Chains A and B, each alone.
Chain A
Amino acid sequence: MSAFAATIDAWKREKGLLRILSASGQLGYGIPEPAFRAGLARKPHLIGADMGSVDPGPYYLGAGKLATARRSSKRDLGLAIVGAVRNRIPFILGTAGTGGGDPHLAETMDIIREIARENGLNFRVATIGAEMPRDTVKAAVRAGKVTSIGPIGALTEADVDGAARIVGQMGMEAFQRAIDLEPDIIIAGRACDTAIYATLPQRLGFPVGPALQMAKIIECASLCCEGGGRDAMLGTLEGESFILESMNPNRRATPMSVAAHSLYEQADPLSVAEPEGILYLADAKYEAVDERRVRVSGGRWEPATQFSVKIEGATWLGARAVLVAGSTDPVFIAKAQEIAASVEAMVRELVPPNPKRPYDLFFRFYGLGVVGGQPVTTVPEEVGVLVECIGETEEEARAVAATAKQYLLHAPFPGRISTAGNLGFPFTPPEMTAGDAYRFSIYHIMQVDDLAPLFPVSIETIGG
């Protein structure tokens, strides 16, 4: 019998509390082992982890690459999967491989097969795809069923065709179909982090509001504790309420620390949109159980009359090359922007852009108001210099960066005293290629009538 089926059967016989362990909110960046082991000792009914996000930017989604190092991903996946399989505890991983697209899922599965082989494990894995069929998205665009999230343009069919990859965020519906396949573990593409933890409670008949409310908090592991933290977090679902406890005994969840966590990375702290409805948190209550545990209640679930899926897409722009340098010359620093303009004109003359597709060239002087996008009030004694080119090809981008290097180094300007060179380089070569450049071209909500065709499930047995 699969770990999911056995756990569901056992819970139905005994009823009572449901213990869910969140192993990590960022799998692949290092699961702290002592807290994870302490969590295993509590005999959770489910272990969950989230591995992805749009936070690291469009590159990973577009390129189909993991943001986490393979060896770090393998270490964390090994800890979670060996712990789950040996103890017959179901495991769910959401947004596999950073981006949650097909190549991300494939590489994550490759690592998992390696882990199974090396540990002599045998288990059933259900996978859930999350790449959106372009025809479906284009039909939704034509039918006026796609809306922007924040300041991004209305989606066009050309955007859909132009994207390197498009994923959708699955909700509990997709995970329910995966559980139907009787797996031991579920590895999902792009997914709502809440659905990782709320699907099993929903399956067992727990009220969805508090289950999702708990999911929303524990998906970041111990981040809801005072001072934050990455340690595994245990959520114990009681029904209309739940108890939060960090598996690191030094971390304390307090009513204030948990309430404050609802603000994190959310545009609206009082509601959370899921494909199948909305979670409302305005009536949330936070009470201390003791000095490091909190009981939470009040999450209210309203099923939607119309399903909707958040879709994300990245478009390939070109190849990137960058130059890293610095300057301590006060005259250069005072005139940096105008010097950059003259150097840019020289570069565009010496490396003529393709008129149909001119390269992008940026000069950034760190210390003069780059990061915040606003001018600084005091001029520093030293500035960092970053020149970035996005060209049609790697060769073009590198040619632009190398030319910019030479002319910025030797650019003449009125009042120049340091006539041997304007820049200090930290290493050689100071200009380097930085792979492909992408942008988010899709960050929209798509209304759909049927979720199942968008998130196909399949099952395979690994090992044995």
Chain B
Amino acid sequence: MKLIDAARVIRSKNAGPTQVTLDLMFDSREMYERALAAPSLKAAVIAQRFIVAEAEIIPYPAANAIKIVLPRRIIAGTPGDTDVYGAQQHRPILDLEI
């Protein structure tokens, strides 16, 4: 199953100008646990998808959600940036198989 079909919300946004964070929210505990256990949602795979050095995966069971924290390639608003708010950085994980 692809992540885009499994999750209710897949969003990205800055957490300050130096980091971007993705929130994956699921309708059920089962789907949340399935995604959390998926090899495709491990930090190393995610970092590779986004072409960054590291990624942090934070499970948040209270909302059946998983948070991903990534370093921004360019600090928000610095020349060369293409997404100041970081709100359009979710695409590379939409087709991950879980």
Contact = CB atoms under 8 A, between A and B. Distances in A.
Interface in B3-32: 9, 13-19, 21, 23, 25
Contacts of A345: none
A56 B17 contact: no
Interface residues of B, number: 37
Contacts of A270: 58, 60
B84 A260 contact: no
B72 A374 contact: no
Contacts of A317: 79
Interface of B: 9, 13-19, 21, 23, 25, 51, 58, 60, 62-65, 67, 69, 71-73, 75-80, 82-85, 88-89, 91-92
A9 B21 CA distance: 43
A267 B55 CA distance: 11
A16 interface: no
A264 B92 CA distance: 20
A265 B13 contact: yes
Interface of A is mostly: loop
Nearest to A315: B78
Q: Give the interface centre of A149, A260, A270 by most chain B CB atoms within 10 Å.
A: A260
Given A54-B16, A149-B16, A260 B65 contact: yes
A371 interface: yes
A260 B63 contact: yes
A209 B13 CA distance: 26
Interface of A: 54-59, 148-152, 256, 259-260, 262-270, 284, 286, 317, 360, 362, 364, 370-374, 388, 390, 437-440, 443
B81 to A, nearest CB: 8
A269 B67 contact: yes
Contact of A372 (B71, B76, B89): B89
A317 B71 CA distance: 23
Nearest to B19: A150
Given A372-B91, A373-B82, A374-B92, A58 B62 contact: no
A58 B77 contact: yes
B13 to A, nearest CB: 5
A57 B91 CA distance: 22
A269 B91 CA distance: 22
A35 to B, nearest CB: 24
B66 to A, nearest CB: 9
Contacts of A57: 17, 76-77, 84
A388 to B, nearest CB: 8
Contacts of A373: 51, 73, 82
Contacts of B58: 268-270
A152 B69 CA distance: 15
Given A267-B15, A373-B73, A390 B79 contact: yes
Nearest to A310: B16
